[in-house]
């Protein structure tokens, strides 16, 4: 999946477009019969004019999903197309015009269309995971997308802003696991930014990441960060347990990695 293109005309809306892409990647990666490239690999092509054949060869995939996002007032238009990179043919293409409040329903529709186009059958459990991820509150979702954008800038000022927005997100939805994970990530970032006492920041990051996993144990990124944090806090045995759990867990991604 390639990063969706921001067609809103406003660079400040980049967080929304990237967030939509990330949510689709996260949901599709939970489907056992699909091999989905990670966000890191996907976003390495952001803002680059590449052909789907090149992406296919470099990442070892057959299908490439690409699209664009347009927004006007409280309306949103998503253009999506699924391409068979081997034949170069469009497998499926669709345009969606929705009210912004229906962003979660839109994500569900895109996932269903993609899996249907590739003749993938979802189990009931996979449908539930894909459709019930995160929050149902639009304001909380959008605020967390903005917080992620600030976190990625990697400086003290943006990290502080990301923390404030993550805290505001939690106030809107106290059960939003990803918000606790991101808040923990801001404390983790304080360590390498030299913005606090490392011991205090690590302890706080561990506390928040554990909270995130208590709410949603399937957050692989949070579990990975927790392993790093345990190693930083001089508890290598706990770190080893976390990494061992990830390596030998039954997730499709890890099963594929194990047998490469």
- pLDDT string in tens for the chain (260-residue length): 888 898 877 787 788 888 888 888 877 777 767 778 888 888 888 888 888 888 888 888 888 888 898 877 788 888 988 888 888 888 888 888 888 877 777 877 787 777 766 665 545 555 545 444 577 777 888 788 889 889 988 899 999 999 999 999 999 999 999 899 999 999 999 988 988 888 899 999 999 999 999 998 877 778 888 888 888 876 544 544 554 455 445 444 443 433 33
> How far, in Å, CA of 219 to CA of 210, rounded?
11
Q: Which domains does the chain have, with CATH numbers?
A: 5-124 (3.40.50.10070), 131-245 (1.25.40.10)
Query: What's 60's DSSP letter?
Result: T
Can you give the pLDDT at residue 118?
67
Contact 131, 151 (CB under 8 A): no
Phi-psi region of 102 (alpha: psi -120 to 50; beta: other; left: phi over 0): alpha
Query: What's 112's DSSP letter?
Result: H
Can you give the pLDDT at residue 173?
92
Verdict on whether the full-model pTM lies above 0.85: no
CA torsion sign for 80, 133, 3, 37 is negative
Query: Can you point out the beta strands (E) in 163-220?
Result: none
Residue 219, exposed/middle/buried by CB under 10 A (0-12, 13-18, 19+)? buried
Can you give the pLDDT at residue 148?
86
Can you give the pLDDT at residue 235?
57
Contact 85, 61 (CB under 8 A): yes
């Amino acid at each position: 999946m390639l990063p969706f293109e921001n067609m809103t005309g406003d660079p400040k809306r980049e967080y929304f477009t990237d967030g939509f892409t990330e949510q689709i990647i996260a949901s599709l990666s939970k489907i056992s019969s699909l091999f989905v490239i990670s966000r890191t690999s996907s976003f390495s092509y952001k803002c680059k004019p590449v052909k789907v054949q090149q992406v296919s060869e470099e990442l070892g995939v057959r299908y490439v999903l690409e699209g664009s996002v347009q927004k006007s007032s409280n309306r949103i238009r998503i253009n999506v197309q699924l391409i068979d990179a081997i034949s170069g043919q469009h497998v499926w293409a669709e345009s969606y015009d929705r009210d912004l409040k229906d962003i979660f329903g839109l994500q569900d529709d895109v996932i269903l269309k993609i899996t249907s186009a590739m003749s993938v059958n979802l189990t009931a459990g996979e449908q539930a995971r894909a459709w019930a991820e995160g929050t149902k509150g639009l304001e909380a979702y959008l605020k967390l997308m903005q917080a992620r954008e600030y976190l990625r800038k990697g400086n003290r000022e943006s990290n502080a802003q990301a923390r404030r927005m993550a805290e505001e997100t939690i106030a809107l939805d106290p059960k939003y696991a990803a918000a606790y994970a991101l808040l923990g990530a801001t404390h983790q970032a304080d360590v390498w930014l030299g913005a606090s006492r490392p011991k205090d920041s690590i302890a706080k990051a561990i506390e928040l990441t554990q909270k995130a996993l208590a709410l949603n144990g399937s957050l692989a990124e949070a579990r990975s960060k927790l392993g790093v944090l345990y190693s930083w806090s001089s508890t290598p045995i706990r770190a080893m347990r976390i990494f061992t759990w990830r390596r030998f867990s039954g997730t499709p991604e890890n099963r594929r990695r194990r047998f490469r």
